[in-house]
Structure 1
Amino acid sequence: MTKSKRMHWKIMFKMTRVSAAVLAVLGGISASSVLAQQQQLERVEVTGSSVRRIDAESALPVMVLKREDIERSGATSTVDLLRRVTSVQGATGEASSVGGATFGFSGVSVHNIGETRTLVLLNGHRLSLFGGQTLTGFAAGFDLNAIPVSAIERVEVLTDGASALYGADAIAGVVNFITKRDLSKGDLSVGISKPDGGAEEKRFSISKGFGNVAADGYNLMLAYAHDERTQLLSSARSYGKTGLIQFEHAGKRYQFKQFSQSPIPANATNDAGLLFSPYLKANGSCPEKTFRITDAGGDYCGYDFVGDLEIYPERKRDSAFASFTKRLGEHELFADLLWSKTEQTSRIAPVPGNITIAAGSALHDKYLKPWGVTGDSTAAYRLFDMGKRTNNDTAKFFDLSLGVRGAFAGWDYNAGFTHSKSDVAGVTSGYPGAMAVGRLRASGLLDPFVGPGKQSAEAMKAIAGTNYVGYWDGGVSKLTTAELRGSRELLQLPAGPMLLGVGVNLSKEDFASKPSLFAQGLLSDPVAGTIATKPEDRDQRFGDASAKGPYSAGRKLRGGFAELVIPVVKGFELGTAIRYDRFSDFGGTTTFKESFRWTPTSNLLIRGSLGSGYHAPTVSQINSPLQAYGVTSDKYDCSDPNAPQLAAMAKSLGVLCHPGSKQYDQLAGGNPELKPEKSRQATLGVRFEPTKSVTLGADLWWVGITDAFGQLPEQLVFGNPQAYASSWGKQTDVGTGKTYLAFKADNRNLGKAYHSGIDLDFATRMKLAFGDWNSQFTATYMIREDQQQLKDGPYNSAIGDYSKALGVVTFRVTGRWTNTLKAGPWTHTLGINFKSGFKDQEKTVEVLDASGKVTGKETIRLDVGYYATADWQTGYELNKSFVFTGGVLNLFDKNPPLSISTSGANRGQPFGYDPRYYDPRGRTVYLNGTYKF
């Protein structure tokens, strides 16, 4: 991959006249060198500009991944592909669905500035946001799973934001997927990928084109792709199979325990409100799949839920793409249609929850009274015999683009209509109603103090009868747009033509949240679907309360822009653009972009830009009602003497603290007072070509954001409860009737944020005696990342440091070095991927002596080392029809580095490494075969 400013070639121009220039530019030859060789080139569109022009390099930095780059990367999806782009980091990945309500969403974030601030385009037009977006703004981006990698001709990543052409909300940058088109040949591909122990993939794709626009006046291209992947169990990975980890740090031996306080058999509270395990009391040790926990909350058994996870979910995808182009003189009619369906299944440990054990009951007298418990008790129990909690998520995507383009009265124009829709539905199983479990306990059938499989046959049948299997939640997002763009030469100046680009657009955005009646808390019998006639009969999920209401909202947008490219003197030009957008719910805003491009010599380019941006909150962030929003990612203990404010906050609200160390319920909702984010962006870059076979480039970038919206991180609020009094609420457990302290993750304008860094690239090529060698290196170095969590509050950074305030890590350096040797029919590629290290989340751990005995506790921070992997691929072209490719990803089977972090934004439940940043599949062998016809 190389840096280039070239954007998509329009089909209406003859590709044969410009293909040599394109290949030369992408291979490392300067724009001026190309112009010297090509007397006359057709005009093209440039990323971040509405003006068609000849020059390949312009004022804004764009990275282009060509089709051969995609094939040589070994990536089997757009998610995997963009992971290899060094300027991309911090996006949600597939592992986040393991224990997280993501519906399988995978996004893209340029420079870790945010996937909601990174604009994704398909063939230059905007797409609807994900239908599974949440009321906090999470997943309010485009789901990469919707675009099949087999249909992509190239990907262009603009690492400067707020394009006047596409909209002012592209603060972090733009990712534009360009699909194959105007092809008359056919392509049939099959492939398999096989990691060790799971996550095996099988894939198939076929495409065929008919007609040629230049020769026949039309082209029709059809494509279909299908792939399947099996699950990967946490037990298949030594570093991720258990929540009990022993390790060395700074010359000492430690252990850390990641657990749930709800095991099987159950823990229970004593008269002092502390947890204890009747099983541990009776047997002197904890049962299978648990380990002993002694803390301020009691002496009990913690459940090792990590071993039950499937850390890479099972997935199946289908997609179809059709493109039709018809030439009518100087004009072209075009139509593109994309449909995709992704089905993902993720499984986690059986559901935990609380059950009331009344004093004097048979269970109380049998299991609790012998250990001195005289009053009512709460059992922390895991309903193991119901089986794992399973989410079956389906995300359907549809995109239709219709239009006409051509030349008229001296203008190059493009008029289009687009409509896209993301429809997401989640089906669950393994979740009973809390009241239903309470009725089982009251009937005497359910015994929470016996082990797995020890219930009576009648009880097992009754447990199965309370299992809710069906639709749980989902949503639909739509975007409809009509737009007209045009460009022309305005007038001839001594240094060249002044170019003008203009455009207008009308858009309508809609979103509907569609929770089931069970998710709304409206059923008295979830399995039977019986609607409750009285509020007190409304059941909710056992251990995971939810009473979220449906809502729908939308907005309309009108926009217009104008752009000028002005050649001042030979080799130096200025660009200026202004855009006006008017939102139906936020009013009007004006943004701008200024840029320059200077070529003092034929092999040196200096460029820069300054612009502004405007990002309105999603309709969900504004309009959704306050409702239950899952649980905190980390566990907290009100009994901890080091955290007395937590108990004081619960007392001030007249609610209870959970006993022991436990995740707390979360609340979230829309905020009508939320203000849009505003930004400033700037870049300064240089490209130098000392020879025709060597290219070097560097782009310094800076982004400043005011009124950044988000939620206060839970660690920040739990660490100082009194300082964030407005971030607390309460939630009633319908199973026990007790009301507990809850964390309110509401939408806020948090303050300012500043990001800066340098994107570097180097490319060289040479002819050797045994073949042609190409070497490409790209890297991103993060200079600054300062973000406020309160207006006028202190700044926090996550560069090389797990930030308690931000809940994420930003890697100081990411890099990729790719070397390709082509010798006859053989093509060999070696890729090296690199991430720098970071300081892990601060954790209190147990100190071990030489015999493994716990001698005390310490608070430490691990140093998570740098991470480098190697990918190898060999391709063989048997003839013009058959191509075979084999390779190995993570050639040396490098395990992710040890991390004992347990919380953070979109982390999911895997433990022992951070699944947001490292791929657990390990060494993966793959084989692809392609037949061209």
Structure 2
Amino acid sequence: GVVPTSSVVGNDTRGYASVSIHDLGDAYTLVLLNGQRVAPFGGQLSSGALSGVDINTIPLAMVERIEVLTDGASALYGADALGGVVNIITRRDGDANEATIGWTLPKGGAREWRASAFKSVGSLDEQGQSLSLGASYMHRSALRATSRDYAKDAIKDFSYQGTRYRYADVQDATSPATIYDSGFGWGNPYQVATGGCPQGSYLYSNPYEQNFSFPLCSYNYAADIDLVPEQTQHSLMASYTREFASENRLQLDLLATRSIVTSHLAPVATRFFSGLNLPATSPSYTNYLSGLGVVDDPVNLSYRFVDLGRRGFEDQSDLLHLAARLDGRLNGWAWQAGLTGSMSQQRSDIDHAMSLNTIQRLFDDGFVNPVALPGGQTASELAAQQGAAYNGRWLSGRSLLTELQWQASRDVLTLPGGQLKWAVGANVRREALMFSPSLFAQGKLSDPASGTLATSYDEGNLRAGDVVPMVPSSASRYVWGAFSEWLAPVSRNLDLSAAVRADHDQLVGQAWTGKTAARWRPSEHWLWRASLGTGFRAPTLNQLTSPARSGGQLDGKECSADLKTLQASLGVAPCTIAGSYPLVVGSNRDLAPEKSLQASLGLKVEPVSGHTLGLDWWFVRITDRIGSVDAATAFAHPLDVPASTWTVVNTGGSPTLALSGVPGNMGNWISSGVDVDASVRRGSPWGLFDSQLRVTAILREDTQLYAGGPWASNIGDGQSGGATLKWKLAWRNSWIDGPWTHSLTMRYQSGYLDAPVSVYPLDASGQVTGAATDVRMKVSGLTVWDWQTSWRVGQGWQLTAGVINLLDTRPPLTLSSGGAYKGQQLGYDERYYDARGRMLTLEARLSF
């Protein structure tokens, strides 16, 4: 599985992308570069999210191969790889010089072009040293939601089990404004006066909806977002190798990369009862509202600054990685020493943002006309709004990793199958994490646009929608480890191995872990393999030390009887309608480390040459799993979840219930599955035929929803906002004839049950005919076909053309709007489908 870059749209992933083995999560997958650790993402969150390696900073053009270890924690690489290891091996010491240019061309946007160059100087065989240099560049434009009809609307009509329904993500923050008044009620005065809605909003009518007066203008935020953000990547890499006498070798690697991801959302808006009011002295009130029966002074309103333009987010991620490694032999020992210095730096800039106090000043000074149509603000009003908007740095973070490691191995004695090998090693590393929010994010600016410092704290100085100020933080720790490993070929057909590892974390203590494995070859055509091991993963620095921060808003939460009871018990005014609730995240000093048990059993068969079949069963159990209660569970059972799930914050001058994202030890997690790898490679008079099938089936995934709580499974179930796909399959068939290679690939993923959503039944004319009901749709499986043709021209050129998603298969409809790493895309799920659709790919490569 992966965390796609497109998840940044409307979600605080800060341009991060990662990989996950067996869908266990990116936090449990250890990503290495040439066998050495890389600094984790500098913009990681307090919850522990975004704590892996940002693969946007790994230049794929420089990658020679990727090794994947799927059977869990390793004595050599580290006990914290509970889900497995991905080791990215970069190119080095090659003879060929190479230049590549390529394009990926979808319809409607997200057009990509890329270029890379690789050059080697020297030769280990002739000069005893070599230098390899590489550079790459990639730019991809954005894909707007308006370019995909399945994602451009926030109101969707669909059929389910023979009945037509309407799903509406109603956004009352519109332009002109929606108001609440004791005389007028809930509604949009512009619609009342004209009978219609302006461009960018829908006329939404539903007599069965109790939250608003109808008809209502609902803003179509879905049309404003980027389904795929704009992205630019730069990378430079240098690798130097030198051989000395007596089989000694020095290797140096330097990598410098930058990834910039730019995304957009709907214009800044205010919410009801956030403290924003329109006084009766305003010309808009006098000339427009008073004639509609409005009596309150001031009147409460919800407004969107459409003329100001979409909000922008630019997330920059830099990686600077330097690694040195020295190999040699001494007195029968083969030894290796390495030193790594790695830094991940992240920065987020925002534009068109405002604080609530800034917005109120614009209203008080008459520089906002809340009843004007989009495009109707005067030149002076628009200039004032643009001058009051904040454009600049929002936050930045830095992650530093320094590691010294040493290991040695030697033959100990002769066994019937060969030499008994013994290896020992040790490592020490320092991890450091710094978080630096802007003064605006800290709530310290009375006028963010001008940089004017506030004389005292006022929650109105926070960015509109935030409820808790960000606080700068920094933390560091040392981690020590040592291991010993034995490999025993006890017979010609049987190899046994065993390893033990000790780790000591400065903040959470120490642990012993181990692993044993066996490989049995009863014949040249059969191989059995098995392993059993334990793992240990300490909480991240952020999970242990970061201050409380705002985690955004949770929209559309139903006002249940249990929720009212909870609010009353916490001294909060009980809800009356469905509403939005803040999310507050922070750290927990009392977290215990996670521990794991991994097991695997596999078989590989090659009955005849060129025909192979591999089957591997795997199992992982994680205890004291670190996380927080998800929003779906919390609001469905507000009185059953732990009391620490909830907190109270002050918004708009009154206490408000908030969901706490502070991490805790959530209980246990059990996952198991089967990997299948089959291949056939046969020659014929017409060329070489090569077919490979890879299948992963998730057999079990049971998670405790909270410590001591019930168990649930996400296999084929999106109840909590993120489903685990039971089946994933890739089947590639290639025909190789001289300089030509043609490949057809089928990719399949199984469907799942969507999260429950509230919808309204429709009649034949498309009118709402009944009260809301909850439905859980079956999201169908997805099959995508890809084609690629490659032609080697002479000795130097290779030309490649292909089509990804050859049939332009559309995504299945899903209405889920929450879950881990879920962006604001609506109508499909960007975690499981690439909105670029059918793409023409072209590439030219010159080797010289």
Which TM class, normalised by the smaller chain length? over 0.9
TM-score (normalised: structure 1):
0.87
Query: What amino acid sits opposite 1:226 in the alignment?
Result: Y
Between the aligned partners of 1:622 and 1:243, the Cα distance in structure 2 is 39
Aligned residue for 2:360? 438
Unpaired segments ≥5 residues, structure 2: none
Q: CA distance change for structure 1 residues 739 and 272 in 2, over 3 Å: closer, same or farther?
A: farther
Residue 371 of structure 2 corresponds to which residue in structure 1?
449
Match of 1:622 in 2: 544
Secondary structure, aligned partner of 2:644: helix
- 2:650 alignment partner in structure 1: 732
Which residue number in structure 1 is paired with residue 149 of structure 2? Answer: 238
Q: Give CA deviations for 1:22-73 in whole Å, capped at 9, x if unaligned.
A: xxxxxxxxxxxxxxxxxxxxxxxxxxxxxxxxxxxxxxxxxxxxxxxxxxxx
The structure 2 residue matched to 1:828, chosen from 742, 750, 756, is 742
Paired position in structure 1 for 2:454 = 532
Specify the SS of the correspondent of 2:357. Answer: helix
The counterpart of 2:726, out of the listed 802, 809, 812, is 812
For 1:204, the aligned partner's letter is: A
Where 2:773 maps in the other structure, the secondary structure is strand
Which residue in 1 is equivalent to 2:601? 684
Q: Return the letter of the residue paired with 2:648.
A: K
Amino acid in structure 1 at the alignment position of 2:259: T
1:310 aligned residue: 226
Matched, 1:160 2:81: no
- Which whole-Å CA distance do the structure 1 matches of 2:405 and 2:228 have between them? 41
Deviation per residue, 1:883-919 (Å, 9 max, x gap): 1111110011011111111111111100000111110
Q: Indicate which of 625, 647, 650 corresponds to 1:708.
A: 625
Cα deviations by residue, 1:459-508 (Å, 9 ceiling, x for unpaired): 11110111101000120001100000111111111232111111100100
Alignment of 1:387-786 (within 5 A): 387-536=309-458, 539-632=461-554, 634-638=555-559, 643-656=560-573, 661-724=578-641, 725-733=643-651, 736-786=652-702
2:238 match: secondary structure:
strand
- Could you tell me which residue of structure 2 aligns to residue 12 of structure 1? none
Indicate conservation of the 8 Å contact 1:657/1:740, yes or no: no
Q: State the alpha-carbon separation in 2 of the partners of residues 835 and 500 from structure 1.
A: 43
Q: Which moved more, 1:655-664 or 1:323-332?
A: 655-664
Q: Which amino acid aligns with 2:553?
A: V
* Cα deviation code 1:418-472 (max 9, x no counterpart): 0110000011101012111101111122122222121222211110111101000
Mapped pair 1:185 → 2:99: no
Tell me what 2:779 maps to: 864
Q: Calculate the TM-score normalised by the size of structure 2.
A: 0.96
Structure 1 counterpart of 2:15: 104
Bigger CA drift: 525-534 or 659-668? 659-668
Match of 2:845 in 1: 930
Alignment equivalent of 1:845, drawn from 754, 759, 779: 759
CA RMSD of aligned residues (A): 1.7
Q: How far has the Cα of 1:278 moved from its partner?
A: 1.6
SS of equivalent residue, structure 2 residue 843 = strand
1:293 positional shift: 5.7
In the alignment, which residue of structure 2 is the partner of 1:16?
A: none
Work out whether residues 274 and 659 of structure 1, in 8 Å CA contact, stay in contact via their aligned partners in 2.
Answer: no
Does the 8 Å contact 2:278/2:363 carry over to 1?
no
The question of whether the paired residues in 1 share the 8 Å contact of 2:465 and 2:553 is answered with: no
1:588-624 per-residue CA deviation (whole Å, 9 max, x = no partner) reads 1100001111111111001100000011110100111
The answer to whether the 8 A contact 2:335-2:407 is kept is yes
Deviation at 1:328, TM superposition (A): 0.2
Q: Which residue of 2 aligns with 1:900?
A: 815
Amino acid at match of 1:210: V
Deviations 1:487-535 (A, max 9, x none): 1111111232111111100100000011011101111111111111222
Q: Is the 8 A contact 1:274 1:297 kept in 2?
A: no
Distance across 2 between alignment mates of 1:271 and 1:601: 85
Tell me how far apart the structure 2 counterparts of residues 199 and 235 of structure 1 sit (CA, whole Å): 13
Counterpart of 1:257 (choices 168, 175, 180) is 168
State yes or no: 1:913 paired with 2:828: yes
Q: Output aligned runs, 1:265-284, within 5 Å.
A: 265-271=176-182, 275-284=186-195
Given the superposition, is the C-alpha separation of residues 423 and 798 from structure 1 closer, same or farther in structure 2, using an over 3 Å criterion?
same
Letter in 1 for 2:841: Y
- For residues 58 and 410 of structure 2, the distance between their equivalents in structure 1, rounded to whole angstroms, comes to 33
Greater Cα shift, 406-415 or 914-923:
406-415
When residues 757 and 537 of structure 1 are mapped into structure 2, their CA distance, relative to the original with a 3 A threshold, is closer
2:36 to 99, 111, 125: 125
Q: Does 1:227 align with 2:143?
A: no
Task: Quote the Cα distance in structure 2 between the aligned partners of 1:400 and 1:274.
Answer: 63
Question: Which whole-Å deviations, capped at 9, do the CAs of 1:220-243 have from their partners, x for residues lacking one?
Answer: 000000010000010101111111
The aligned counterpart of 1:47 is none
Aligned to 1:793: 709
Q: Do 1:433 and 1:466's aligned partners in 2 also have CA atoms closer than 8 Å? A: no
| 1:356 to 2:260 alignment | no
Q: Is the 8 A contact 2:16 2:54 kept in 1?
A: yes
Residue 259 of structure 2 aligns with which residue? 342
**How many angstroms does 1:268 deviate by?**
1.6
Give the CA deviation at 1:739: 4.2
Residue 323 in structure 1 maps to residue 257 in structure 2: no
1:272 Cα deviation after fit: 8.7
Shift of 1:95: 1.4
Q: Which residue of 2 aligns with 1:48?
A: none
Of residues 56, 59, 68, the one that matches 1:148 is 59
Percentage of identical aligned residues:
37
Whole-Å separation in 2 of the counterparts to 1:720 and 1:163? 39
Deviations 1:110-150 (A, max 9, x none): 11111001000000011111001011111000001111111
Mapped to 2, the partners of 1:332 and 1:597 lie a distance apart of 31
Q: Deviations over 1:711-736 (max 9, x none)?
A: 11111111222233432223334xx5
DSSP-derived class of the 1:854 partner: coil
Equivalent positions of 1:28-43 (< 5 A) are none
For residues 656 and 272 of structure 1, the distance between their equivalents in structure 2, rounded to whole angstroms, comes to 22
For 2:106 and 2:575, locate their aligned partners in 1 and report how far apart those are by CA, in whole Å. Answer: 41
Does the 8 Å contact 2:632/2:719 carry over to 1?
Answer: no
Instruction: Please name the residue that 1:332 is paired with.
Output: 249
Number of residue-to-residue matches in the alignment = 835
What CA deviation, in whole Å up to 9, does each residue of 1:291-315 have, x standing for no partner?
3264232224321100111110001
Residues 266, 380 of structure 1: 8 Å contact kept: yes
Partner-residue secondary structure (3-state), 1:649: helix
Q: Tell me how far apart the structure 2 counterparts of residues 519 and 783 of structure 1 sit (CA, whole Å).
A: 44
- Deviation, 1:546, is 4.7
Indicate whether 1:803 and 2:723 are aligned. Answer: no
Q: Distance in 2 between matches of 1:458 and 1:613?
A: 63
Partner Cα separation in structure 1 for residue 566 and residue 707 of structure 2: 23
Native 8 Å contact 2:309 2:352 kept in 1 = yes
The equivalent residue for 1:59 is: none
Gaps of 5+ in 1: 1-88
- Paired letter, 1:217: G
* Greater mean deviation of Cα atoms: 451-460 or 608-617: 451-460
Letter in 2 for 1:310: D
